[in-house]
Amino acid sequence: MTSVADRPVGSGRAFAPVIVSLLAGAAVFLVAWRAIVALLGLEVFVLPPPETVAARFVRAWADGTIEPHVAATLVEVALGFVAGAGTAVAVGWLLARSRLAGLVLSPYLVAAQSTPVIALAPVLTVWFGTGLLPRVLICALIVFFPVAVSTMVGFRSVDRGLIELAASLRATPAARFRTLDLPAALPAILGGIRVGVTLAVVGAIVAEWAGADRGLGRLILIAQGSLFDIPLMFATLATIALLGIALYGAVVVLERRLVGDRG
């Protein structure tokens, strides 16, 4: 059995500077926010002070206002991210391995990326209705491009000398992929996934604005419109930010476990 003394010390302390910097940044942001409200004498319906938003945040979670909307958004993010990232890794590998695929597919990928997702959301809603499918598709589309490009770059950056060594050892394509290509490309792929997982949240919110009966994007519209509850709107925005930070942090933890601390 491994004793506590035998565990790596550095891994537990690696996150301490990050946490301290995040807390310091949040403190500066909140102080600046409160100072702006006080100095300009802004009304609550223009910019509520942070303590008002914090109180509404706690109350909205306590009375169950936010929870069902978070659950709906999380489902969209999870399904869209898995579909988009999975497809992107496969396409990125194909682009890295086939020059013909790169020539044929690259213009379409760039054109699709150049089209704003907010412009595609109403189109997908018209085609597929206001159910879960169009929202998942929008999340998948916004995740796809950064992960596909990172995957392509990762597989193309495999050391040529190692490739020649694998060929001289008569390694099968499957063995080469498992022992050389994938480990070498994994840092780049995870870098793209870090970007993609936060963009998935953006995609879910945009999709909910286009048409949804539940979700954090829908709650923003409700708070801003029919309820005119501006503190609730800001509490929802804070929830979205925390959700993005949590998902990003989860990917960072996964990356550290798979490829180590790359600084």
Q: What pLDDT score was predicted for residue 7? A: 44
Give pLDDT tens digits along the chain (263 positions). Answer: 444 444 444 545 656 776 888 788 889 999 999 999 999 988 888 899 999 999 999 999 999 999 999 999 999 999 999 999 999 999 999 998 888 888 888 888 888 778 887 788 888 888 888 789 999 999 999 999 999 999 998 988 887 888 777 777 877 788 888 888 888 889 999 999 999 999 999 999 998 988 788 899 999 999 988 768 899 999 999 999 999 999 998 998 888 888 776 55
State the pLDDT at residue 3. Answer: 44
DSSP for the chain, please give it: ---GGGS-HHHHHTTHHHHHHHHHHHHHHHHHHHHHHHHHT--TTT---HHHHHHHHHHHHHTTSSHHHHHHHHHHHHHHHHHHHHHHHHHHHHHHH-HHHHHHHHHHHHHHHHS-HHHHHHHHHHHHTTSHHHHHHHHHHHHHHHHHHHHHHHHHTS-HHHHHHHHHTT--HHHHIIIIIHHHHHHHHHHHHHHHHHHHHHHHHHHHHHS-SSSHHHHHHHHHTTS--HHHHHHHHHHHHHHHHHHHHHHHHHHHHHH----
pLDDT at 203: 92
Please tell me the predicted confidence (pLDDT) of residue 5.
44
Residue 162: predicted pLDDT: 80
